[in-house]
Structure formats: structure tokens, C-alpha cells
Homo-oligomer: A and B are copies of this chain.
Amino acid sequence: MGDHTPVGEFEQLVLLAVLQIGQGAYGVPIRREIEERTGRSVSRGAVYTTLDRLEGKGLLGSWLGEPTPERSGKAKRLYRVERSGITALKESRSALRSMWTGLEAMLGEL
């Protein structure tokens, strides 16, 4: 049976947030995107740890922002979703869809 690169629940949210933001995705807005869209609060640490792990798996790529940022704070680390990240997201969604098929009616659309 298919191998299956496991992608956790929260990891999916992070990958999707990076996609939603597009250019200029880094820790702070990624966190905000998740909190605003899902309505649940997330710690900064949770986000950074997950970003690290996703990069480790090759699903995300990152680089440092402006070498001499005209603002406060450490240099931003920017992220983008790699091809394999997209694939993983699609697979997860596909699996969930198959399992949901036919149940929407029974449980109510929303």
C-alpha cells in the first residue's frame, strides 16, 4: 500500500498558512493567520517548532530576510512551501475527503 509521509494536524495548518500568506511569510503573520482563520490560540513556540520540523522534512524551505533590516527585532526568517509540501497537503485532504464522503448529509452541512 502507498507509503504515506505523515503530516500532522497542526503541521497542515502551518503549511496552509504559509501558502495563504505567499510572499513574506514568517513566524508572526503565520501565527496570526492560523489564529484568525481557525479561531484558536497558538503559542509562538508551537509555530516555530513546527516550522523547523517541516523544514527538516523538506516540506518547507526558508531563508533570512533583509541582512540589514530597517526595523527592530531579529532578522525575519521567511518561508515557502516546497513541492513535497503541496503533495503532502493534497494527500491529507484527499484521505479526509474519502472518509467524509456521504457523512455531510447525516451530520449537517455545517
A interface residue numbers (CB < 8 A to B): 1-2, 4, 6-9, 12-13, 16-17, 19-20, 34-35, 37-41, 86, 89-90, 92-96, 98-103, 106-107, 110
Contacts and interface: CB of A to CB of B under 8 A. Distances in A.
Nearest to A34: B99
A103 B41 contact: no
Contacts of A100: 16, 93
Q: How many copies does the complex hold?
A: 2
Main secondary structure of the interface of A (DSSP, over half): helix
Given A13-B95, A40-B2, A40-B95, A90 B107 contact: yes
A110 B13 CA distance: 19
Given A4-B40, A4-B41, A16-B99, 18 more contacts: A1-B41, A2-B40, A9-B9, A12-B96, A13-B96, A16-B96, A16-B103, A19-B107, A20-B99, A37-B95, A38-B95, A39-B95, A86-B107, A89-B107, A90-B107, A90-B110, A94-B110, A96-B96
